[in-house]
Structure 1
Amino acid sequence: MRSLIALAALPAIAAVPAMAAEVQIPVTNPVVELTVMETVLADPDYATVGAGVTVRASTVSEALKQNAAQMRKVVDKLKSVGVAAKDIQTSNFNLNPQYQYRNDGQAPTFLGYEASNQVTVKLRNMDRIGETLDALANAGATNFFGPNFGLEKDEPAKAAGRKSAFNRAQAQATDYARMAGYTGLRLLEISETYAVSQPMPQSGAIVVTAAKAEDATPIEPGQVGTGVTVTVKFEMTR
């Protein structure tokens, strides 16, 4: 009795309506299915950092006023060094009363209100990341997080990973076919998933101080990985 294998939709026919009939390919020989992941390293083309301002004042209105004025300077500085408005996004805002708690059973002492505002920024000029962080510190930023590096133009890396993953899968399938006494393969199905290069969740603070460009905070981008996972099914043939 013949078994049936579903042919995966290829990118060239990805626009076929979701209700289209699934293509069936009859097979008469054993089928081998392999999943291979390949990670390609490449130089990142952007970095994300978090920059913010935290202030404390005796009243809510004063805390908000001071924070807004200082944060406005930070955002203006970002724009003045060439960061586009679309690459600046508010990621956190907090306003909380602050108390000093005692261990002697006495009531806590009210210290004021603390206002915190933070933006997440995508920096595309990889040569000026440290200089930009220093400029933000000089403009009044008090909190920094990151940087996290990513690859936006990742098609070349994905193409290299795709080719390598498929070649590995085909070579492994060929080995299985030979061990089973078959001489060839017929491709039945191929599918792909990949990990998009993007910033990791922010964690850990960095501390910078204002400096001249030649003494800017050193930032080393290293490389980032783009992962491609290919799943293939081959029918063994004679």
Structure 2
Amino acid sequence: MRVLSALLLSAALVLPVAAPAFAEDTVAPMITVTGEGVVEATPDVATLMIGVTTQGTTAAEALSANSAALDGVLARLKAAGIEARDLQTSNLSLNPNWTGYDSSTPTISGYVATNMLTVRVRALASLGEVLDAAVADGANTLNGLTFGLADPAPALNEARKEAVADARAKAELLAEAAGVKLGKVVSIGEMGVSSGPMPMFKAEDAVSAVPVAAGELGMTASVTVQFQLVE
């Protein structure tokens, strides 16, 4: 009994001391906002996806014709000022050309070979001529043209700064409306970065230089910022 009484007495002495600690652990009021920043930048590089498709009565004939046409395209592009580091072939395919699907015995009437070529153009002023050169020597498929920045980091960093400033402005407005003041930053998280919309590409008859409009890229950054609120 004496031991039990001593334990109860110790607990009674500890509880009043521990109570104020809960008051000190009260979480400060906070506000979380999302900010967005957009920086317009002029593209300085373009990427083309062009292809060479050839046919032949045999697989070897189709592949040989494709290789010859692709060699011609590569030679013309290099003559137009495209460096070897900016040329990459990919997605080589060779398939039979089936006919007679409506019969019970379809047959192979030949073969089709396709090879894709990714071309990076750093001198945008010559983009139209580069397209013409590619088509003139055998490229007969255009799978896409995109514009970008050789070094997007400066524009993206500027967009990030604007996103943080936008988040602070929103938080200050909301805090003022609520009758409180904005405290220190508790956390910052980046939600993502992007570029768009893509500039327009206009393809016409490839007899003369293809007209191309590079336009501008909108580099966008989004952040989430959490602030403390002060009474």
TM-score when normalising by structure 1? 0.77
Question: In structure 1, which of residues 218, 225, 236 is the aligned counterpart of residue 229 of structure 2?
Answer: 236
Q: Judge conservation of contact 2:195–2:219 (CA < 8 Å) in 1.
A: yes
Return 5+ residue gaps in structure 2 as ranges: 1-21
Higher helix share: 2
The 8 Å contact of residues 196 and 218 in structure 2, kept in 1 or not, is answered as no
Residue 117 of structure 1 deviates from its aligned partner by: 0.7
Equivalent residue in structure 1 for 2:177, among 159, 176, 179? 179
Q: Does 1:170 align with 2:168?
A: yes
Where 1:140 maps in the other structure, the secondary structure is coil
Aligned residue type for 2:206: T
Q: Structure 1 residues 207, 95: closer, same or farther in 2, change over 3 A?
A: farther
1:144–1:207 CA contact under 8 A, matched in 2: no
Pair 124,196 (structure 1): closer, same or farther in 2 beyond 3 Å: farther
Alignment map for 1:138-153 (pairs within 5 Å): 138-153=136-151
* Matching residue of 1:64: 63
Q: Bigger radius of gyration, 1 or 2?
A: 2
Quote the offset at 1:86 in angstroms.
Answer: 1.9
1:205-220 to structure 2, matched below 5 A, reads 208-211=205-208, 216-220=209-213
1:195 equivalent among 193, 196, 220:
193
Name the amino acid aligned to 1:178: E
What is the distance in 1 between the residues matched to 2:23 and 2:39? 40
User: Are the aligned partners of 1:149 and 1:198 in contact in 2 as well (CA < 8 Å)?
Assistant: no
Distance 1:205 1:142 in 2: 16
Percent identity, aligned pairs only, is 36
- Cα offset, 1:197, TM superposition: 4.4
Q: Deviations over 1:152-203 (max 9, x none)?
A: 3223422332232112211111122223331232111123354254998xxx
CA displacement at 1:119 relative to structure 2: 0.8
1:82 aligns to what SS in structure 2?
A: coil
Residue 132 of structure 1 is matched in structure 2 by 130
Q: How does 1:1-238 map to 2 (within 5 A)?
A: 1=22, 28-101=27-100, 103=102, 105=103, 107-195=105-193, 197=195, 208-211=205-208, 216-238=209-231
On the 8 A contact 2:54/2:62 being kept in 1, the answer is: yes
Q: Which runs of 5+ in 1 are unaligned?
A: 4-25
**How has the CA–CA distance of structure 1 residues 180 and 199 changed in structure 2, closer, same or farther, with 3 Å as cutoff?**
closer
| 1:179-230 alpha-carbon deviations (Å, 9 max, x no partner) | 3331232111123354254998xxx99565243xxxx110111222211111
- Give the conservation status (yes or no) of the 8 Å contact 1:148–1:199: no
Aligned length, in residue pairs? 208
Using the size of structure 2 for normalisation, the TM-score is 0.79
Q: Is the 8 A contact 2:175 2:182 kept in 1?
A: yes
User: Are 2:202 and 2:212, in contact at CA under 8 Å, matched by a contact in 1?
Assistant: no
